[in-house]
């Protein structure tokens, strides 16, 4: 899966696909913090918000995933049939990893680079509203 807004180089998908194909991971997610964030690709408020929400989610869901909100991710067919994903908003990003952790699936991470969006568009992300929805999911709404 990938955000199709030009912020990710889909040539990087092999980094996520290989561990799924060789059986060493059930779920894969990109890590923009280890792969690099191009200047201007992510506002500082989002960068720090993502780090804070990911830190809380790591504790809550007992996983070592560094970047819960990366727009590049993948999963095996077997993992997809086991996961019960219900979120309709941006908190899907957190739910995806939380559900994989809850099920004891093997979650792998790969460094991916975040690029500045080439499209002229208005972002659908609403920092405060979406941040609080993620926080609510982490604190109360998630299945244990």
Rounded Cα distance, 92 and 111, in Å = 21
Domain ranges for the chain: 10-139
Closest CA to 6 of 93, 121, 111, 115: 115
Query: Cβ–Cβ contacts within 10 Å for residue 64, how many?
Result: 8
SS3 of residue 37 by DSSP: strand
pLDDT on residue 38: 86
Residues of the chain predicted below pLDDT 50: 144
- Tell me the per-residue pLDDT of 99-114, one tens digit each, with 9 for 90 and over: 999 999 999 999 998 8
- Tell me the per-residue pLDDT of 119-144, one tens digit each, with 9 for 90 and over: 676 656 666 777 777 788 888 855 54
For residue 37 the two structure tokens come to: 């964030």
Global confidence as pTM: 0.86
pLDDT on residue 136: 83
């Amino acid at each position: 899966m990938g955000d199709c807004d030009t912020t990710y180089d889909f040539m990087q998908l092999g980094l996520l696909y290989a561990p799924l194909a060789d059986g060493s991971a059930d779920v894969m997610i990109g890590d923009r913090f280890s792969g690099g964030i191009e200047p201007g690709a992510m506002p500082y408020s989002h960068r720090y918000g993502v780090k804070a929400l990911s830190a809380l989610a790591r504790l809550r869901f007992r996983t070592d995933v560094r970047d819960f909100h990366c727009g590049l991710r993948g999963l095996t067919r077997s993992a997809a049939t086991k996961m019960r994903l219900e979120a309709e908003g941006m908190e899907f990003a957190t739910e995806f990893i939380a559900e994989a952790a809850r099920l004891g699936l093997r979650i792998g991470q790969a460094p991916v680079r975040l690029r500045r969006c080439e499209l002229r568009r208005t972002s659908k992300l609403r920092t405060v509203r979406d941040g609080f929805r993620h926080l609510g999911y982490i604190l109360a709404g998630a299945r244990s």
